[in-house]
Amino acid sequence: MSTTTARILSRWTLWTGAALALAACADKPPTPDWKVNAHGSVQRASDAYLSGKSRVADQEWRTARSEVSRTGSVEQLALVELNRCAAQVASAQLQECSAFESLRADASVAEQAYADYLAGRPLAAAQIALLPEAQRKAASDVGAIKAIADPLSQLVAAGAALKAGRATPETLVTATETASAQGWSHALLGWLSLRAERARALGDVDLATALQRRMALIESQGQPAAASANGARADEKSEKASVRRP
């Protein structure tokens, strides 16, 4: 076989394979747009919440709810609220996930088990088996949290351990480092605040002060205190001047 013939056959094989792939795609029904839109909004909402962009997060959660409401499925809405609850837990927020609880009756058994896990409630072995794979080992072994590769899953596991009263000092450090590495400022503030509170309770003033400095850096967005004050005064003068102008 000549080199030219081999090239022609090779190209024909590629074209045929591509054509078959396109045909296969054509036979597969497209994903409903509500599902694509809701999934995207949940991802953006979670990231915005963890990053401290509350207005963006609120808007994306509203969009996700609106999209799933098109299906008339309460179970789909429960899934959205469960994701929202997971983002809160990942940020060391200890409030109850009341929005999901109001939908619990229509949620699947697996979703109910996950909600109980996020709330820090004791789980039976059968419930642990229903958890997302990344959470199963961590549900019974707090030491397994550090080995979770996905950052959000790791923070969720740390938050669940915190709510269950199983979190160790190492758990808090791991969660802090993960939130910091991802630039998730809201989540990081939650874990830093918790660690600072515990450090003060233990009389570790140096650690509490160091953690407080990190929190101040996040809250100031890295701007020097003097510059922030000068900027605030300049803004105030500008606002007063604008009032005097027609």
Q: Tell me, yes or no, whether 11 lies in a domain.
A: no
Q: Tell me, yes or no, whether 242 lies in a domain.
A: no
Length of the chain: 246
Q: Compute the average pLDDT of residues 60-66.
A: 97
Q: Tell me, yes or no, whether 1 lies in a domain.
A: no
| Rounded-to-integer distance, Cα 242 and Cα 23, Å | 64
What are φ and ψ of residue 210, in 5° steps? -65, -40
How far is C-alpha 101 from the chain's CA centre?
A: 19
| Rounded-to-integer distance, Cα 134 and Cα 153, Å | 7
Per-residue confidence at 219, pLDDT binned at 50, 70, 90?
very high
- The tally of domains found in the chain comes to 1
| Rounded-to-integer distance, Cα 54 and Cα 48, Å | 7
Per-residue confidence at 27, pLDDT binned at 50, 70, 90?
low
Question: Helix crossing, 109-118 with 133-140: angle to 10°?
Answer: 50
Q: Tell me, yes or no, whether 50 lies in a domain.
A: yes
Q: Tell me, yes or no, whether 19 lies in a domain.
A: no
pLDDT tens figures, 95-111: 899 999 999 999 999 99
Q: Tell me, yes or no, whether 24 lies in a domain.
A: no
**Domain coverage including residue 125:** 35-237
Question: What is this structure's pTM?
Answer: 0.79
pLDDT tens figures, 76-135: 999 999 999 999 999 999 989 999 999 999 999 999 999 999 999 999 999 999 999 999
Q: Is the pLDDT of residue 225 over 80?
A: no
Q: Tell me, yes or no, whether 122 lies in a domain.
A: yes
